[in-house]
């Protein structure tokens, strides 16, 4: 018998596709924070009925990127500086936990995957594809959580990631300037390959702080002079 690995087949419900479409639109900033999602309009654009669309929206509400007020509507969440601060401070704790858990589980497959994802970030950077750059950077960062062999941790991190990706996208949209060309992940990858777990944890924490300050400053700036709204 040939021992072949099969990946699970694709979800073939409209609902799943709608979720993917909406999530992408939100996380890339195509849909602005606070913006209302008109069910009829969206369902007509997507050529689906409101039923699967509404189910998809419930999922995204629970996922934390949408918020819903009965009989008023469903809106893209608003990003406050405090939200970012909260998400990041928790993320630090999760990173430390993840590194501790996956440290002994590192093997050649891990290192290979680490390099692969690192390469993806570098490629996106070369392409000046900011959206993809954010995506790949988060995927690189997510590897430690995937490798920690803790489903609840992974789930939690993925929820956090959604928001972080959204925040980053907004940030990138705001300052149209080019993304950092130099490779900020080089040390991170090296630490994860090294032999000092504490050092890796420390670096993860500090590395995060870096981007964070910039992002936070942007969020605070937004709050000082709020736009007229969508």
Partner DNA sequence: GACAATCAGATTGTCGACAATCTAACAAGG
Partner DNA sequence: CCTTGTTAGATTGTCGACAATCTGATTGTC
Interacting residue ranges for DNA, rule: CB under 7 A: 12-15, 36-40, 47-52, 54-55, 68, 70-74
Q: Identify whether the C-beta of residue 66 lies closer than 8 Å to the C-beta of residue 16.
A: no
User: Of 68-87, which residues contact a copy of itself (CB under 8 A)?
Assistant: 70-71, 82-83, 86-87
* End-to-end Cα distance, the chain: 59
Query: Considering beta carbons, is residue 7 or 108 the nearer one to DNA?
Result: 7
CB of 132 to a copy of itself, least distance (A): 26
Distances (CA, A) of 200 to 102, 119, 204, 209: 12, 20, 6, 14
Which of a copy of itself, DNA, none has residue 124 at its interface (CB below 5 to 8 Å by kind)? none
Which residue lies nearer to DNA by CB, 68 or 173? 68
- The nearest distance, CB 64 to a copy of itself, in angstroms, is 7
Q: How far apart are CA 140 and CA 90, in angstroms?
A: 18
The CA distance from 33 to 102, in Å, is: 35
On whether the CB atoms of residues 39 and 54 are closer than 8 A, the answer is yes
d(CA 100, CA 98): 5
Q: Give 112's DSSP letter.
A: H
Query: How far apart are alpha carbons 65 and 70 in whole angstroms?
Result: 17
Please report whether residue 17 would count as binding a copy of itself according to CB under 8 A.
no
Output the six-digit token pair for 1.
């018998």
Written as six digits, the tokens of 22 are: 């909406």
37 contacts which partner out of a copy of itself, DNA, none, CB within 5 to 8 A by kind?
DNA
Report the relative pairing of strands 73-76 and 36-37 from DSSP bridges. Answer: antiparallel
Instruction: Give min distance, CB of 77 to a copy of itself, in A.
Output: 11
Q: Which does 203 bind (CB under 5 to 8 A by kind): DNA, a copy of itself, none?
A: none
Which of the residues 123 through 152 are near a copy of itself (CB under 8 A)?
150-152
Contact between 11 and a copy of itself by CB under 8 A: the answer reads yes
Size of the site for a copy of itself (CB under 8 A): 35
Choose from DNA, a copy of itself, none: what does 48 bind? Cβ within 5-8 Å by kind: DNA
Q: Which two tokens stand for residue 62?
A: 């629970």
**Residues lying near a copy of itself in the complex (CB under 8 A):** 11-13, 15-16, 51, 54-55, 58-59, 61-64, 70-71, 82-83, 86-87, 89-90, 93-94, 97, 101, 150-153, 155-156, 159-160, 163
């Amino acid at each position: 018998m040939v021992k072949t690995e099969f990946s699970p087949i694709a979800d073939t419900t409209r609902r799943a596709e709608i979720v993917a479409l909406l999530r992408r639109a939100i996380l890339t900033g195509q849909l602005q924070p606070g913006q209302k999602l008109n069910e009829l309009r969206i369902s007509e654009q997507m050529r689906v009925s409101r039923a699967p669309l509404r189910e998809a929206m419930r999922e995204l509400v629970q996922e934390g990127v949408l918020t819903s007020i009965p009989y008023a509507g469903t809106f893209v969440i608003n990003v406050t500086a405090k939200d970012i601060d909260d998400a990041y401070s928790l993320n630090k704790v999760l990173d430390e936990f993840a590194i501790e858990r996956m440290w002994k589980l590192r093997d050649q497959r891990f290192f290979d995957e680490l390099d692969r994802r690192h390469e993806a970030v570098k490629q996106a950077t070369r392409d000046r594809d900011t959206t993809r750059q954010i995506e790949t950077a988060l995927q690189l960062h997510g590897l430690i959580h995937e490798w920690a062999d803790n489903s609840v941790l992974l789930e939690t991190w993925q929820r956090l990631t959604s928001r972080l990706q959204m925040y980053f996208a907004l940030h990138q949209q705001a300052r149209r300037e080019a993304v950092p060309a130099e490779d900020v992940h080089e040390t991170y990858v090296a630490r994860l390959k090294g032999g000092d777990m504490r050092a890796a944890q420390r670096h993860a924490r500090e590395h995060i702080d870096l981007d964070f300050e910039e992002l936070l400053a942007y969020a605070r700036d937004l709050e000082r002079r709020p736009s007229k709204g969508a």
